[in-house]
Amino acid sequence: MYLKEHASGDAVEILDVTALINPSHETVRGRFHFGEELQDPAEFDKRLLTFPSGEALPRCWLDPHWRGV
């Protein structure tokens, strides 16, 4: 799955989708996806990531106290 880092606009390949959708995890393991060389994995703050369209991640992925009605 690919998301976008909001500040730079660079694509981020998400390596742990389970951590992404788990609201108790504030970070997710991924790597920038640019250039021809494979980038090293890093931890990304989920609040700084968006979908490629620019849409924010769902609140239920970010807030462990959020409950849908």
Of the CA atoms within 13 Å of residue 5, those in its CB half-sphere come to 19
pLDDT of residue 69: 56
User: Is residue 68 pLDDT above 70, yes or no?
Assistant: no
Identity at 36, one-letter amino acid code: E
Each domain of the chain, given as residue ranges in start order, spans 2-62
Query: Does 41 or 66 have the greater pLDDT score?
Result: 41
pTM score, whole prediction: 0.86
Q: 9-57 pLDDT, tens per residue? A: 999 999 999 999 999 999 999 999 987 888 999 999 999 999 999 999 9
